[in-house]
Structure formats: C-alpha cells, structure tokens
Amino acid sequence: MANDMVMGIDLGTSNSAVSLWIEGRAVLIPNKQGDVLTPSVIGLDDNEQILVGKSAQKRLQSHPHLTQASFKRFMGTNAELSLGTQTFRAEELSALLLRQLKEDVEAWLGYAVKDAVITVPAYFNDVQRRAVKTAGQLAGLNVLRLLNEPTAASLAFGLLENKEHKYLTFDLGGGTFDVSIIDMFEGVIEVCASSGDVRLGGDDFSEEIYQWMLKQHPALKEVQAEIRAPLLEQAEALKIALSKGGEASVSLRWNEQDWHWTMTEQMLTTCCQSLLTRLQQPILQALHDSRFTLNDLDDILLVGGATRMPLIRQTVARLFGRFPRHDLNPDEAVALGAGVQAGMVMADTALDDVILTDVMPFSLGIETSKRNGAYYESGYFLPLIERNTFLPVSKMQTVSTVEDNQKIILLKIYQGEARRVQDNVFLGEMTIDIPQKPAGEVDIDVRFTYTVDGLLEVECRYQGNPEVFRLLIEKVPGQMSEQQIEQSLLKIADLKQHPRDRKENRILLSRCARLYEFLLGEDRYWMDQVTTEFERALDSQDLRRIAAIRQQVEQFLSRYEGDSH
C-alpha cells in the first residue's frame, strides 16, 4: 500500500537533519546519539575509520588535519580537502554525511530507504546543485528533487495554505547568512531575489565572544595557541546560555587556576556590533533586487540556529519594524519543510499545483573591450543576463568589432558580478569568422538563453548573414565527470566504517532494542544478554567474532520476532 518512504534532508553547512512524513506530519529523525541535528563534520579516527557528526566535531580542534567541516562551501568546485593523507572533493565528504543520515533513518525505521528530497540554498548555481545531486548518488540515494531552503522553510511554517503571500526568510546558520524574498500567489512560489553573506554566521558571534574573553583575562592571551579549543567551546556555551536572556557565566580550569567570565546581553550586543551591522546590507540588496518594499512583506521567517539569539531577533525586529515569526525551531525548519515536500512526493501530490519558479542567481555575460585613447583595452565584463532574473530567460545584445579588418570574433563567456572578467568564472568560448571591414562596421548579435534545467545556450550571428553559430554550455568547471563519479563510488565503498556504524549491524541492534521492549521475564533477560554480547563484539572490531555472533543474534531474533508483530 504505502509508497516507498522518502527522506527530507537539510544538508547544512554546520548541521544537517532529516525528516520523514509520518501520519500526516513531518517528523525529525534522531541520529544514534539521539540528536536531530548531526554536525556536518567528517573525520578519521586514529585507526583511519570514518567519523561522522558529533564524534568528528569533537576532534575538530584537537585533530584539525584529520577533520573537515563546512565543506558545503566547496560544493561545485574542484577543491581538494584532506583527511590525513587522503584527499576528498566536497561531494565525497557530503556523500559520507548523507550516507550516515540514510543509515540513521534506516536504523530508526528498521528497513532500507533510498529516495530523498534534499534542500539547497536559493543562491546555489547549477554546478553547485548538480554537485548536491552527485553527492546523493555517491551516498546511494535516489535524489528525487532539490528544494530551495527558503521554500522548505515556507512549507514548514505552513504558508502554503495561504493564497497570496510575500515573505522574507532570514537564515543565519553557523557560517553563512542567506536572505530570500519569496512571492507566493495562485500556487506559484517565486524566489524573487536572494542575497547574503557567505562569511557571516553564528560562529562569528562565538569568535567575538572568544576575543572578549581573552580581553577580560589578558594573561590567557599568551597561551592562546593551546587554549583556543577549550576557550572557544566556552564562548559557544556562553552564547547559547545567553539565548535564554539576562546574563550567563562560564569558567575554565587552566594551569591549576579557575578563570571566570560573566557576560550580560548588553555586553554581548556591544561586543558583536560590527557583525550586527553586516546583517543589513544583504537585506537591502534583496529588497532592491526584488523591487519590493518592507511594507509589501507579509512575514519575516527566522531560520538557522543563530536566530535563536535574542540579540538577532531584536535586530531583525528593529530592521523590519515588526516581529519575525519564530514559532518553529529555526535550525529544524528547513529539514521539516523537506519532510513536508517528501510527504507530497509520496502522496503523489508533489506540490501538484504549486509551481516553483526560480531566479538566475548570478549574472552571465561576455568579455568586452573599452576604448582608452587610441586603444581598446580588453578584460571587461558585459552582463547579458543579470542576476535575479526569472528563469527561463533569453536576452540579446549587439556588439561591434573594435579593429580594422578583424577576421574573427572570439566570444568569451563568464559568470559573476565583477567588473573585470578575471574576477568572474570562465564558462566557455566560441570563435566565428566575420567579413573584414573597418572597425565598428560589423555588428554581432549575441543571444544568451538560460533554461530552467540550468543550461546556457549562446547564439551568435553577424548582421547581414542568416547563419547562426551556437554553443551549449552544459559542462562547467567544477563538475564531476561520469568517470570521476565511478571512481568516487569505489573510494567511498572502501573507506572503513566502525562496525558499530555499519548499516547491517545498526539495523540488527535496533531490532534487538525493539524486541527487548516487547519481551518480558526470562526472554527479556536473554535478549539483554545477547545484545550485550553483540555490542561487545562490535566494540572489539574483530570481524570474525562479529560474524559469528551476528548469526546467533539473527537466530534469536527470528525465534521471537514472529510473535511481536
């Protein structure tokens, strides 16, 4: 009867979470530590076994060369991120994280799942979106669709029920700040504009508090190198404690001495003033690009763990002149929205009459020359499609030759916002032959067409000639080839997982736990014995011992499980 279960996944820069649509609502699924948020951190332990989540995060400061965090920033690039002697692409590290989330869900459900909806920032370009899909593929997932994070938030807040709604999502995560303006009408969800700061997040507030703590006890400045990790942990604790308002204290034992700090909300505000100021610019930018005014907005949605800080809520309230909505846990909203979407996919209503329209997150254009006296200076960017234009879009521009008797035109295509092409991303180039004439006498029409699938088609013709030259840009730098994906699959399969983390063992353990709850008396006693023995075998990491006991556990379970259903 039931369709296959679909997971809704928030693959975050700092934390990830997964939810399922169960009995008419999205439910967050806890990981094996019982937390619904899994830190997006991957590491290797001293036996070269993969660590995912909290266990990896704990070693971030103590074993930096064996740990990677914030790799989402590198999605869609060729960056090589190292773990010990091995290097990984961001897709591969994301895949390890996704695989863990998948296994957590499987351990919780007791059966295998494959289908998923994954959220992405609204500003992610096509290469980055493809990278997320590739990561899913590497993790053994079937990625049914990608959902914009602000759209997911609106689903979680239940805004879909409204006929018409304009709102802004203010998403302050661990290391990034995203602002999106959404216009929802007649079942159409439009991301009208997105903006943000990729170097601003909750962790910057912890860093400011850390600096303040050093100033309070200058003696600690000299031992900064050693003390940074534990002190930063206290700074984070202070930040979180201050979220309950009033004042908060922390202390640290160092060199046989106790060091104390007490911070009030007021002190926090003063200490983070410059960060608060930086929140304004992206909001103004998004409003400007969307051509909306503050009064046009029906709601401000707070998303991202850092918006739990009262300081941020007050700042938002002041900036917008009203109170934002925060009736959901801000760091869970995106995953919950992904679960709502997953539910729709399962029920086959799949946002049926909701059409998602998207905007082009970056400007696209060509290289052009500027006249400088008698010369032309090349290297300038001429945007053809400006950022935040609705998709699909097609735009034409006419350019002319700059030299006498020019024989060819070299069209170089770039993506970005910078004035000089060298600061933008090169996408491709095409050359066309033109008739030789005096400078400025050959006019060339260049047309850019960007489809909803993220393909850019460049068409070019010179006036007076009906022939059209075409270039399709599909493969952009930073995208993995089929062959690379094949290799990554093998590489990931080869990485060692702790036996306790292996899928088959975790499913078995969760079956044991469930049966234990069902049984009574002596049976229950024996269930406990068997489980303990299995756990000890797993901890021993002795594969032969594990295999032997696994069989016994299976037998034991099959003897009883018929009754428990």
- Interacting residues toward ligand ADP by CB under 6 A: 12-15, 173-176, 201-203, 236, 239-240, 243, 304-306, 308-309, 331
CB of 121 to ligand ADP, least distance (A): 9
Question: Which two three-digit tokens encode residue 362?
Answer: 């970056």
List, as one string, the DSSP characters of 418-464.
-SBGGGSEEEEEEEEE----STT--EEEEEEEE-TTS-EEEEEEETT
Q: Which is nearer to Mg ion, 303 or 508 (CB)?
A: 303
Q: Provide the minimum distance between the beta carbon of 94 and ligand ADP in the complex, in angstroms, as a whole number.
A: 12
Choosing among Mg ion, ligand ADP, none, which partner's interface includes residue 243 (Cβ < 5 to 8 Å by kind)? ligand ADP
Separation of alpha carbons 116 and 346, rounded Å: 10
Burial-class residue 522 by CB neighbours within 10 Å (0-12, 13-18, 19+): exposed
CB of 550 to ligand ADP, least distance (A): 36
Instruction: Quote the CA–CA distance of 445 and 447 in Å, as a whole number.
Output: 7
Which residue lies nearer to ligand ADP by CB, 71 or 414? 71
Residue 202 interacting entry, from Mg ion, ligand ADP, none, C-beta within 5 to 8 Å by type: ligand ADP
CA 359-362-364 angle, to 5 degrees, is 110
| Closest separation in Å from C-beta 465 to Mg ion | 51
Helices of type H across 243-272: 265-271
Nearest approach, Cβ of 11 to Mg ion (angstroms)? 9
B/e letters for 186-196, b = 16+ CB within 10 Å, e = fewer, are eeebbbbbbbb
| Residue 309 touches which of ligand ADP, Mg ion, none (Cβ within 5-8 Å per kind) | ligand ADP
d(CA 112, CA 96): 17
Three-class DSSP category at 162: coil
Rank residues 119 and 401 by Cβ distance to Mg ion and give the closer one.
119
Strand partners, 118: 9, 146
CA dist 183 and 364 (Å) reads: 24
Among Mg ion, ligand ADP, none, partner that 306 touches (CB below 5 to 8 angstroms by kind):
ligand ADP
- Residues 474, 453: Cα–Cα separation, whole Å: 10
**15 touches, from Mg ion, ligand ADP, none (C-beta below 5 to 8 Å by class):** ligand ADP
- Binding partner selected for residue 127 from ligand ADP, Mg ion, none, CB under the kind-specific 5 to 8 Å limit: none
Residue 191 or 346 having the CB closest to ligand ADP: 191
Is 173 or 202 the residue whose CB approaches Mg ion more closely?
A: 173
**Least distance in angstroms from the C-beta of 316 to Mg ion:** 16
DSSP for residue 121: -
Residue nearer to ligand ADP on the CB measure, 153 or 480 = 153
Q: Minimum Å distance from CB 332 to Mg ion?
A: 10
C-beta separation of 356 from 151 below 8 A = yes
Minimum separation from the CB atom of position 495 to ligand ADP (A): 23
- What is the crossing angle of helices 90-109 and 482-494, to 10°? 50
Binding at 19: pick from ligand ADP, Mg ion, none (beta carbon under 5-8 Å per type): none
- Tell the smallest beta-carbon distance from residue 333 to Mg ion (Å): 9
Name the residue nearer to ligand ADP (CB basis): 308 or 326. 308
What CA–CA distances, in Å, run from 336 to 16, 118, 165, 184, 343? 12, 11, 20, 19, 10
Q: How far is the CB of 340 from Mg ion (least distance, A)?
A: 16
Q: 119 or 406, CB closer to Mg ion?
A: 119
The amino acid at 435: P
Strand 164-172 relative to strand 299-303, pairing: parallel
Handedness of CA 558, 560, 564, 565 (dihedral sign): positive
CA distances from 427 to 29, 270, 366, 416 (A): 40, 44, 10, 10
Q: Which does 89 bind (CB under 5 to 8 A by kind): ligand ADP, Mg ion, none?
A: none
Distances (CA, A) of 162 to 187, 188, 350: 9, 11, 17
Q: What share of the chain is helix, strand, coil (3-state, %, to 5)?
A: 40, 30, 30
Closest distance of CB 137 from ligand ADP, Å = 22
State the nearest-atom distance from the C-beta of 45 to ligand ADP, in Å. 23
Which is closer to ligand ADP, CB of 120 or CB of 553?
Answer: 120
* Lookup: tokens for 391: 């998709």
Peptide bond into 466 cis (omega under 30): no
Residue 180 interface partner, choices ligand ADP, Mg ion, none, CB cut-off 5-8 Å depending on type: none
Give 308 or 511: the residue with its C-beta nearer to ligand ADP. Answer: 308
SS3 535: helix
Residue 136 interacting partner from ligand ADP, Mg ion, none (CB closer than 5 to 8 Å by kind): none
Contact criterion met (CB below 8 Å) for 203 and 175: yes
Contact partner, 181, from ligand ADP, Mg ion, none, Cβ < 5-8 Å per class: none
Q: Which one of Mg ion, ligand ADP, none is in contact with 118 (Cβ closer than 5 to 8 A by kind)? A: none
Angle between helices 90-109 and 503-518 (to 10 degrees): 20
Between 203 and 367, name the residue whose CB sits nearer to ligand ADP: 203
Q: Please identify, using beta-carbon distances, which residue of 311 and 515 lies nearer to ligand ADP.
A: 311
How far, in Å, CA of 206 to CA of 225, rounded?
17
Nearer to ligand ADP, 29 or 527 (CB): 29
Site residues (vs Mg ion, CB under 5 A): 12, 173
CB of 316 to ligand ADP, least distance (A): 14
Partner interacting with residue 442 (select from Mg ion, ligand ADP, none; CB below 5-8 Å by kind)? none
